[in-house]
């Protein structure tokens, strides 16, 4: 927590303590009066009901500070500009679908991507949340078993299986970039697979200004990363809260498109560059070209994207601002300095506490209980928790398909 005072002890002590500390933090940082009166009202509400309803202004402030406290996110310099949309009224699957569609439109913003959080109804102290989003991200591509391989993104094989179990069939002609439906759990125990409004999704085809053959690979990626299976914790109350930032080029190029257990396109780029087998830096050269292609493509499309050097510099500015304000900075070095960060980047040479500060963002354990909901945790870049696979020397696929273990039923 940002503070350690424990002013109360009661049957609702955890909620009371977190609520008080949050209110005190907000009034201290914003300079707004009325803490005593607001705390009296909140304490009475918690004592009577076990929880409390935050105002929209309190919700907005708490969401922004939760981003500021996200140890794994390198993009926190922008925390004060986060747009927070209060959708606590969206208490059924169709209402959530509408809120998520609006989120995509607002975040994409015609290509000038904005950081946006949508706050859904709170998780009750006892019982089941009215709604939960099972998808780890709002825009993900299906994984189709295809003669011993997977056509699409193998990371989403379980999510695709779940969607088809719920009645989703996908497009008539399946391809490597078929957008999965949103799977929403409701408090009646049902799962709903709801189609995504295609008009809300912008994708960027990947090309390279010098290597025209890269465009022939048929690659593309969404404009906006929206992490959707996280919980926002403010003052002892938790909310499902989809959160979007801006993609970092290296996450798309070096992970999503290049990883051997994702789209596995690095061998195709190596072949296209005609790099020799005895070139010990061939993977590095191919990754650089793929990153060039991603940056070029997003810039040409007029879609905001960032790079690891810029974000490292921005993070150093964030740290200086926070320390000047007298606030502790938390940070997970392994996430702040993922490939291809170098020792020349300012974020490289310093370690931070990894303790949890509140307000906070964390994975929703109920959503993560589904095998489909593994992985992605960084709302700024879309970075995933999956370990990198160093083996990029397998034969290049002719399409965006990779070998992946299939069930016996799928093999038939």
Q: What are phi and psi of 232, to 5 degrees?
A: -100, 125
Is-cis flag, bond preceding 359, omega within 30?
yes
Nearest alpha carbon to residue 229 among 115, 370, 84, 364: 364
Residue 360, pLDDT score: 97
Report residue 7's pLDDT band, with 50, 70 and 90 as the boundaries: very low
If you write DSSP's letter for every residue of 350-362 in order, what string do you get?
---B-PPPSSEEE
Is-cis flag, bond preceding 340, omega within 30?
yes
Q: Are strands 83-86 and 116-119 parallel, antiparallel or unpaired?
A: parallel
Average pLDDT of every residue of the chain: 89
186 DSSP β-pair partners: 131
Residues 6+ apart with CB under 8 A from 374: 136, 155, 158, 368, 385, 386
pLDDT over 90 at 76, yes or no: yes
- List pLDDT tens digits, range 117-168: 999 999 998 888 999 999 999 999 999 998 889 999 999 999 999 999 999 9
Report residue 379's pLDDT band, with 50, 70 and 90 as the boundaries: low
- List pLDDT tens digits, range 324-346: 999 999 999 898 998 888 888 88
Residue 231, pLDDT score: 96
- List pLDDT tens digits, range 81-117: 999 999 999 999 999 999 999 999 999 999 999 999 9
| Measured CA angle at 311 (ends 306, 317), to 5 deg | 140
The Cα 165–Cα 47 span in angstroms is: 43
- Give the H or E element holding residue 37: helix 35-49
Least confident of 111-125, 252-266, 328-342, 388-402: 388-402
The Cα 201–Cα 138 span in angstroms is: 10
The Cα 123–Cα 88 span in angstroms is: 11
Contact 312, 74 (CB under 8 A): yes
Report residue 377's pLDDT band, with 50, 70 and 90 as the boundaries: low
pLDDT mean over 50-72: 98
The Cα 207–Cα 200 span in angstroms is: 23
Q: What is the pTM of this model?
A: 0.88
- Give the H or E element holding residue 116: strand 116-119
């Amino acid at each position: 927590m940002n503070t350690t005072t424990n002013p109360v002890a009661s049957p609702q002590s955890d909620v009371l303590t977190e609520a008080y500390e949050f209110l005190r933090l907000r009034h201290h940082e914003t300079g707004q009066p009325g803490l005593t009166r607001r705390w009296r009202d909140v304490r009475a509400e918690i004592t009577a009901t076990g929880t409390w309803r935050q105002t929209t202004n309190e919700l907005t402030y708490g969401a922004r500070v939760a981003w500021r406290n996200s140890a794994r996110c390198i993009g926190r310099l922008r925390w004060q500009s986060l747009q927070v949309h209060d959708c606590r009224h969206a208490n059924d699957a169709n209402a959530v679908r509408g809120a998520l569609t609006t989120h995509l439109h607002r975040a994409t913003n015609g290509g000038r991507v904005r950081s946006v959080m949508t706050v859904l109804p709170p998780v009750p102290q006892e019982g089941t949340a009215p709604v939960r989003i099972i998808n780890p991200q709002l825009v993900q591509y299906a994984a189709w078993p295809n003669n011993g391989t997977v056509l699409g993104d193998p990371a989403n094989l379980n999510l695709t299986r779940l969607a088809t179990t719920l009645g989703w069939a996908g497009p008539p002609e399946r391809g490597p970039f078929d957008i999965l439906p949103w799977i929403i759990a409701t408090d009646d125990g049902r799962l709903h697979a709801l189609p995504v409004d295609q008009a809300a999704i912008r994708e960027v085809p990947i090309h390279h200004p010098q290597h025209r053959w890269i465009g022939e690979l048929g690659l593309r990626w969404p404009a906006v990363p929206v992490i959707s299976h996280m919980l926002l914790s403010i003052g002892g109350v938790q909310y499902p809260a989809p959160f979007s930032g801006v993609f970092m080029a290296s996450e798309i190029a070096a992970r999503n498109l290049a990883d051997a257990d994702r789209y596995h396109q690095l061998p195709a780029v190596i072949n296209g560059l005609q790099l020799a087998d005895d070139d010990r830096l061939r993977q590095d050269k191919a990754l650089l070209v793929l990153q060039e292609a991603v940056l070029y493509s997003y810039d040409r499309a007029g879609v905001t994207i960032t790079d690891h050097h810029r974000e490292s510099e921005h993070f150093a500015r964030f740290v200086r601002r926070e320390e000047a304000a007298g606030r502790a900075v938390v940070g997970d070095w392994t996430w702040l300095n993922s490939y291809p960060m170098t020792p020349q980047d300012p974020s490289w040479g310093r370690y931070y506490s990894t303790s949890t500060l509140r307000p906070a963002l964390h994975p929703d354990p109920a959503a993560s209980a589904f095998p489909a909901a593994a992985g992605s945790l960084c709302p700024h870049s879309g970075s995933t928790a999956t370990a990198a696979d160093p083996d990029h020397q397998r034969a290049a696929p002719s399409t965006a398909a990779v070998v992946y273990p299939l069930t016996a039923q799928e093999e038939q």
